[in-house]
Amino acid sequence: MAEPLVSDYIREALRSAWFTVYLDGRNEHGSHVLPMPGNNIADVAQVELILAEYAEQIISEAEAAGHVIHDCVVTTWRWNRGWGEEPGYWEYGSYHADLTIIMCGTPYEQRQSRVSEDARAQSPEGGADA
């Protein structure tokens, strides 16, 4: 019998709440991540509003996994239903290494892609003036 194309682990990960972000950087105002296309959370606006709260944690976890500023990574989120009259809200879960590789590429692949893009932009044939 043939192996399934997608493992149960990856299938379950894709069904969980995930959100793709761009590691924008750090400056005197704090850490910054930007939302990117690619998520399975219906209320994108609510997650976008709280990304700043988790930016340093997201960047630190991604850097620990070998990523650098300007990479994109996939993050997981949990829905907290709230109590009584309090509305529910999204909470940051963690950096998801496997979904990041599937959706964005490995840290090495992302760096190579940026190097190739920079080289094309600087070449006479591939630059903005072409």
Give 88-128 pLDDT, tens digit per residue.
888 999 999 999 998 899 999 998 888 777 777 787 776 55
The verdict on pTM exceeding 0.85 is no
Q: Edge-to-edge strands of the sheet including 72-80?
A: 30-39, 18-27, 72-80, 89-95
Q: pLDDT tens-digit profile of 5-61?
A: 668 888 888 888 889 999 999 999 999 999 888 788 877 888 888 899 999 999 999
How far, rounded to the nearest angstrom, does the alpha carbon of residue 121 sit from its chain's CA centroid? 25
**130 band by pLDDT with thresholds 50, 70 and 90:** very low
**Alpha helices, DSSP H, located in 65-124:** 97-103, 107-122
Which candidate, 17, 42, 13, places its Cα nearest to that of 93?
17
Predicted confidence at residue 5, as pLDDT, reads 67
